[in-house]
Amino acid sequence: MKTLLLNQREVKQLLNMPDTIVAVEEAYKDFNRKMAIQPPIVSIEVPEYNGEMDLKMGYSKSTEIIAVKTAVGYWDNPERYHLPTLLATITLYDGKNGYPVCMMDGSLITGYRTGAAGGVSAKVLARKNSKTVGVIGAGNQARMQVIALKEILPLEMVKVWSPVRKQQLKYKQEIESMLGIQVLLCDEPKAAVEGTDVIVTATPGKNPIVQDEWVSPGTHIIAIGADMEGKQELDPKIFSRAKIVVDNIQQCVLRGETQNPIKEGIITEKDIHAEIGEILLGTKVGRENNEEITIFDSTGMSIQDNMTACRIFKNAVQLGIGQKIELI
Amino acid sequence: MKTLLLNQREVKQLLNMPDTIVAVEEAYKDFNRKMAIQPPIVSIEVPEYNGEMDLKMGYSKSTEIIAVKTAVGYWDNPERYHLPTLLATITLYDGKNGYPVCMMDGSLITGYRTGAAGGVSAKVLARKNSKTVGVIGAGNQARMQVIALKEILPLEMVKVWSPVRKQQLKYKQEIESMLGIQVLLCDEPKAAVEGTDVIVTATPGKNPIVQDEWVSPGTHIIAIGADMEGKQELDPKIFSRAKIVVDNIQQCVLRGETQNPIKEGIITEKDIHAEIGEILLGTKVGRENNEEITIFDSTGMSIQDNMTACRIFKNAVQLGIGQKIELI
């Protein structure tokens, strides 16, 4: 038996946002159907080289594939080694016999599946005629979220503010040429989010940026940045007047944006309306009217990697892409 | 940058017991020098296919390599898929930048490094002139242990008893032709172990096989089989008159043979003489006279895989073996 090897160039060729949105939607449904087995994440820190490795492992009973993703972050890589800061590999094992059927670069997949998460949330939580997005941050996720939203909503304008101001111009150029949407650079976060239909927060911040009074009725907020204890981008008061939806309650109350209003006693876990998979499965409702403020808090799950990588593997086999190697 | 791929055939070519003994000795020393970072093992069970996957991850500060081993056990594989029951892969990441420098088949390495563990223990715990080994079990580890002991001791005879009687004849033929040592097949476990210099237990058993009264002064016992809660091969009374050495105290009191005398109140954790790395480093003594009974309880550690795989990787680079692939 052989193992299919897909390098970064091949994964890039096979990866696209519409497919990833379908994969992530399936992942969320599977999670709430109890079809996903996801052991705890394990990590190693290598402080002497300013690096760390996270290992995410998950089994999907619907694809019958075990996926193992190792993702490293080494912050001195560009300067010291001319390597990217983030590197990842994903290996897929046949759940029926444990054979490693595919090994692929995983560096791009996390970005796509996290972007797709916001897109999936917009499907059930944003107003259908949402035309403007306010984006906080101008890094990779600030791009991915807008790319995904463009697949779901009739977007016409992006307003962006980043704490790293010098990133903004490049962001404008890239998004405008890639998506053909106008991008407005803002001097203040308030200007970026006020009056927009959708707000995306995608920074590594640890203090509230988006204030409660800037958020109009009907807004959908996609909270992406917070994925660890101590991270924060939203004024926790927003939660008291919003319909709160998360990817995974257990994770979000500890590591997502939701940790903050809970810590401050503004909400309790019971105020969380749903996990998004419940809405996608139809067991809970999504947006009910044009006045609701909705928040989607995403912390990321192994099953998203699993489903996205499975789809890439399947496409690669169909198209004859990749190299067959003998490993075992 | 490229990743070196080593398939099972190439790993087999590069793997040998003397090198593995050196690697495992270094691993044990590093563990007790606090140079090994080993997060908890994570597992997934796939009961619908009678399978499971274990993931062991470890960083060695001396090799500056992170090793990730995924090992699966699928007990219906031979019958259903013409695949081995046990399959494993090991990926080595450069600890300085997280780049995956080498991917190799790991199916053979676990067997070798576990065998080497017994050999290393014999170096400091068996009598130097040990000539006979009594082996309980006739599977892969029953072979590996004897192969390793042959490197350390002037072995002349193996006496074997297996709960799976039909394995014994093949065991005799293989060991005799491979090592040139006489193998005596025994009808009872008592006959296999009584009067031998070294006893090896290597079964998946859950009840005591080797009885206290069969064990003579001066014997070294290598307890390999017990690596999970509930496993047992030794009469726990033996522990009350033995010098107890383990690979990892924390693991052995929960999952090793040592769990049993502790559960029965025959010993407490304080009665454990040493972790083997402490003896190898010279901070604790090994065997002190010809009358002592010594027990080495081995449960296995990620750092053993790390060191063994690093050595294989190094040899492969020196000898120009393996295929360079583009992954990232």
- Tell whether A43 lies on the interface with B, counting CB pairs under 8 A: yes
Angle ∠(A216,A219,A224) on CA atoms, nearest 5: 120
Residue type, A33: R
* DSSP alpha helix (H) spans, B49-196: 77-81, 109-125, 140-152, 168-179, 189-193
All residues of chain B having their beta carbon less than 8 Å from the beta carbon of residue A81 are 96-97, 99
Neighbours of B128 (CB within 10 A): 11
Neighbours of A204 (CB within 10 A): 14
Q: What's the distance, CA A8 to chain centroid?
A: 19
- Tell whether B85 lies on the interface with A, counting CB pairs under 8 A: no
CA dist., res. B257 & res. B270, Å (int): 16
Evaluated on CA atoms B177, B182, B186, B189, the torsion sign reads negative
Among the partner residues A7, A42, A87, nearest to B57 by beta-carbon distance: A42
All residues of chain A having their beta carbon less than 8 Å from the beta carbon of residue B107 are 328
Query: Over its length of 328 residues, how does chain B's per-residue pLDDT go in tens digits?
Result: 899 999 999 999 999 999 999 999 999 999 999 999 999 999 999 999 999 999 999 999 999 999 999 999 999 999 999 999 999 999 999 999 999 999 999 999 999 999 999 999 999 999 999 999 999 999 999 999 999 999 999 999 999 999 888 889 999 999 999 999 999 999 999 999 999 999 999 998 999 999 999 999 999 999 998 888 899 999 999 999 999 999 999 999 999 999 999 999 999 999 999 999 999 999 999 999 999 999 999 999 999 999 999 999 999 999 999 999 999 8
Spans of chain A, pLDDT less than 70 = none
Q: What's the distance, CA B274 to chain centroid?
A: 18
Q: Three-state SS for B311?
A: helix
Buried b (16+ CB within 10 A) or exposed e, A159-184: bbbbeeeeebeebbeebeeebebebe
Beta strands in chain A (DSSP E): 3-6, 36-37, 42-46, 51-60, 65-74, 86-94, 100-105, 132-136, 157-161, 182-185, 198-201, 206-210, 220-223, 232-234, 242-246, 272-275, 293-297, 323-325
- Minimal CA–CA distance to A194: which of A154, A170, A161? A161
The packing angle between helices B140-152 and B168-179, to 10°, is 30
What's this model's pTM, rounded to 2 decimal places? 0.92
Within 13 Å of residue B70, how many CA atoms lie on the same side as its CB? 26
How far is residue B66 from each of residues B44, B300, B307, measured CA to CA in Å?
Answer: 21, 17, 10
pLDDT score at B166: 86
C-alpha distance from B49 to closest chain A C-alpha (Å): 6
**Residue A59 to residue B44, Cβ atoms within 8 A:** yes
Neighbours of A277 (CB within 10 A): 25
The packing angle between helices B302-319 and B109-125, to 10°, is 110
| Residue B59 near residue B34 (C-beta atoms within 8 A) | no
Mutate to test the interface with B, among A97, A103, A105 (most CBs of B within 10 A): A97
Among the partner residues A39, A80, A325, nearest to B42 by beta-carbon distance: A39
- Tell whether A97 lies on the interface with B, counting CB pairs under 8 A: yes
Q: Which strands form A198-201's sheet, in the order they lie side by side?
A: A182-185, A157-161, A132-136, A198-201, A220-223, A293-297, A242-246, A272-275
How far is residue B56 from each of residues A31, A296, B314, measured CA to CA in Å?
Answer: 25, 34, 21
pLDDT score at A328: 86
Catalytic residues of B: 69
**Residue A96 to residue B89, Cβ atoms within 8 A:** no
Q: Three-state SS for A67?
A: strand
Enumerate domains of chain A plus CATH numbers: 3-109+303-325 (3.30.1780.10), 115-300 (3.40.50.720)
| Residue A196 near residue A133 (C-beta atoms within 8 A) | yes
**Residue A87 to residue B328, Cβ atoms within 8 A:** yes
CA dist., res. B307 & res. B29, Å (int): 11
- Tell whether B68 lies on the interface with A, counting CB pairs under 8 A: yes
CA dist., res. A4 & res. B180, Å (int): 42
pLDDT score at A1: 82
